[in-house]
């Protein structure tokens, strides 16, 4: 019980004080879980990050779920996850209540015209960041082009394009493996 409460409040703190989410949270999680509480080892932490990166969802939530499970099974993961999302929910809801009125002021509208341009730049920068995490092959560049054409010209639903990406990633590698196998068996026969 005490451990679950500590988990909840630790992740509440992590959710409340990290801006930018994801990677900004890693040092904090590491500090709390590895150094202070000694609940997990540094290697386990590395595994958790790798798994969180390879599964759907956001890093902060995925690592909260995983760490929680390691320490106190289902309820551990439940309260760790709840803790990490609760501050956002409360803060954002309060902002959302006042935001509409806030947007009535002339100068706020001007400010947000500037801000929207900045957000576009941040979004583009995020694309470059993701691009660091896959092999720079011709195939990858073709996939980028396919996604671009499919979304802005053909206007295909985004979810279908993403599912296509998951499937084509696996299928293309299987075909490459098959071809390699055939080649090696042919060489053996010769």
Q: Which stretch binds other proteins (CB under 8 A): 28-36, 37-45, 170-178, 179-187?
A: 170-178
- Residue 157, number of CB atoms within 10 A of its CB: 10
Q: How far is CA 20 from the centre of its chain?
A: 12
Site string for other proteins, 27-46 (x = CB under 8 A): --------------------
Exactly one of 4, 28, 34, 146 binds other proteins (CB under 8 A); which one? 146
Residue 33 tokens, joined: 């879980």
Site for other proteins in 2-31 (CB under 8 A): 15-22, 25
Round to whole Å and give the CA distance between 19 and 24. Answer: 7
Least CB distance to other proteins at residue 77 (A): 6
Non-local (6+) Cβ contacts of 60 within 8 A are 14, 15, 18, 21, 22, 25, 84
- Name which of 98 and 188 has its Cβ closer to other proteins: 98
Q: Which H/E stretch holds residue 23?
A: none
By CB under 8 A, residue 175 contacts other proteins: no
Instruction: Identify the residue among 2, 96, 98, 188 touching other proteins (CB under 8 A).
Output: 96
Report the C-alpha gap between 13 and 60 in whole angstroms. 12
With contacts defined by CB under 8 A, name the span among 1-9, 29-37, 125-133, 178-186 that binds other proteins.
125-133
Using the rule CB under 8 A, is 113 a contact of other proteins? yes
Q: Which is nearer to other proteins, 37 or 70 (CB)?
A: 70
Backbone conformation region of residue 57, classed left if phi is above 0, alpha if psi is from -120 to 50, else beta: left
179 is a site residue for other proteins (CB under 8 A): no
């Amino acid at each position: 019980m005490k451990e679950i409460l500590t988990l909840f409040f630790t992740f509440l703190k992590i959710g409340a004080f990290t801006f930018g989410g994801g990677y900004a949270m890693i040092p904090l999680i590491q500090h709390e879980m590895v150094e202070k509480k000694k609940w997990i080892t540094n290697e386990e932490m590395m595994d958790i990050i790798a798994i969180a990166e390879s599964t759907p969802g956001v890093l902060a939530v995925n690592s909260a779920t995983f760490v929680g499970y390691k320490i106190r099974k289902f309820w551990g993961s439940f309260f760790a996850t709840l803790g990490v999302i609760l501050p956002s929910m409360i803060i954002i809801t309060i902002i959302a209540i006042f935001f509409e009125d806030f947007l009535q002021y002339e100068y706020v509208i001007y400010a947000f015209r500037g801000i929207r341009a900045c957000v576009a730049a941040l979004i583009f920068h995020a694309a470059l960041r993701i691009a660091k995490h896959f092999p720079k092959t011709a195939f990858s560049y073709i996939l980028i082009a396919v996604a671009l054409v499919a979304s802005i010209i053909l206007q295909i639903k985004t979810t279908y394009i993403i599912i296509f990406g998951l499937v084509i990633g696996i299928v293309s590698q299987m075909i490459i493996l098959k071809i390699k196998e055939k080649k090696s068996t042919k060489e053996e026969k010769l």
